[in-house]
Amino acid sequence: MLTKPTSQNSLRATDYFFEGQTAFYRGKVRDVYTINNKILVMVASDRISAFDVVLPKGIPFKGQVLNQTASYFLEATRDIVPNWLLGTPDSNVAVGKMCNPFKVEMVIRGYLAGHAAREYASGKRMVCGVALPAGLKENDRLPEPIITPTTKAAEGHDEDISREEILKQGIVSESDYVQLENYTRALFARGSEMAAKRGLILVDTKYEFGKTDSGEILLIDEIHTPDSSRYFYAEGYSDRQERGETQKQLSKEFVRQWLIANDFQGKEGQKIPMMDEQFISEISERYIELYEHITGEQFIRQEYDEAEVRVFGNVQKFLRQLD
């Protein structure tokens, strides 16, 4: 019998100690275990964040969706850029090579949506040093995809930054940054092609990269997931734009919009609104919908009974095979 999707049935956090473990870090969504200072074990929890704040309740199956979606696209883009992934021993776990992450996130946008749309609506015509044309409406397609990087904050809010400032501050060398830009554009083009085949538009997304001790640049973390990307349904997109209607989309944006409507954008003094179980179930189903739509594969819901024991055992077995 499948577990009922409620916030009580979710994997909010893990607390393991694996053989050879040398460090542990809890991110907004993932619990990250370092093994022998060379391997990373990333457990995708069911935590959900918005506006760089982790919300109080877990979303059933969200971690599984993120992990399986990211793995799907990492395998599908290995011919473009090498990546960190070595294997997925559990539906909620990715294991890969450890490297030194670049302290920027490479955000690329093909449409005026989300944060960029909010900045544009406030009167700004320059985002991260990139000029935007006048006369755009929210969700309009941009003349060409633009890269709007952010700084990678250890905690708190990521901040917009321009290419010029990244180079001026020496956050990334110019040669490396040019490579990151090239990889970003190539990955976005591939992601857009794959989305189009499934009747979707890849609106915007972000990529993270790292560098190995030998100097190789790797694609790391997750790609093309509902947490890192925004998708519109292609069918009816133009008609909805012409009528000024909200676009039908698959992403986490509807959670952000719900929070905004409830007076929360992660700003100081704001209180996180309470999500009821019906809304939590809706979020869960939307994540599953995106997985099935973008991959074309059926989503098999993992049981939550003894989930922490299952994850630990699968990871330990995989790590022993790596030795």
In a domain, 54, yes or no: no
Instruction: Give residue 2's pLDDT.
Output: 43
Give the residue numbers spanning the domain of 137: 102-251
Instruction: Give residue 250's pLDDT.
Output: 80
Instruction: Give residue 1's pLDDT.
Output: 36
Q: Are 99 and 212 in contact (CB under 8 A)?
A: yes
Contacts 24+ apart (CB under 8 A), 248-254: 249/203, 250/200, 250/226, 250/286, 250/289, 250/290, 250/293, 250/294, 251/203, 251/226, 251/290, 252/48, 252/50, 252/226, 252/227, 253/113, 253/114, 254/286
Assigned token pair, 278: 């019906």
In a domain, 90, yes or no: no
In a domain, 12, yes or no: no
Interacting residues of 292 by C-beta distance below 8 A, sequence separation 6+: 298, 299
**Distance of alpha carbon 290 from alpha carbon 288, whole angstroms:** 5
**Distance of alpha carbon 55 from alpha carbon 47, whole angstroms:** 7
The CATH number that applies at residue 151 is 3.30.470.20
The radius of gyration computed from the CA coordinates of the chain, to the nearest angstrom, equals 19
How many residues would you count in the chain?
323
Instruction: Give residue 3's pLDDT.
Output: 45
CA angle (71, 36, 102) in 5-degree steps: 55
Assigned token pair, 213: 């001790």
DSSP code, position 64: H
In a domain, 236, yes or no: yes
Instruction: Give residue 8's pLDDT.
Output: 59
In a domain, 29, yes or no: no
Q: How many domains does the chain have?
A: 1
Question: Phi, psi at residue 185, to the nearest 5°?
Answer: -65, -40
Instruction: Give residue 254's pLDDT.
Output: 84
In a domain, 22, yes or no: no
Three-state SS for 256? helix
Instruction: Give residue 199's pLDDT.
Output: 95
Model pTM above 0.75:
yes
In a domain, 313, yes or no: no
In a domain, 6, yes or no: no
| Alpha helices for 198-306 (secondary structure H) | 237-243, 253-261, 277-295
Instruction: Give residue 265's pLDDT.
Output: 92
**Distance of alpha carbon 152 from alpha carbon 100, whole angstroms:** 13
DSSP code, position 132: -
Assigned token pair, 80: 């473009």
- From first to last of its 323 residues, the chain has per-residue pLDDT tens of 344 455 557 899 999 999 999 999 999 999 999 999 999 999 999 999 988 899 989 999 999 999 999 999 999 999 999 999 999 999 999 999 999 999 999 999 999 998 999 999 999 999 999 999 999 999 999 999 999 999 976 555 678 999 999 999 999 999 999 999 999 999 999 999 999 999 999 999 999 999 999 999 999 999 999 889 999 999 999 999 999 999 988 878 889 889 999 999 989 899 999 999 999 999 999 899 889 999 999 999 998 989 999 999 999 999 999 87
Instruction: Give residue 154's pLDDT.
Output: 57
Strand partners, 197: none
Three-state SS for 120? helix
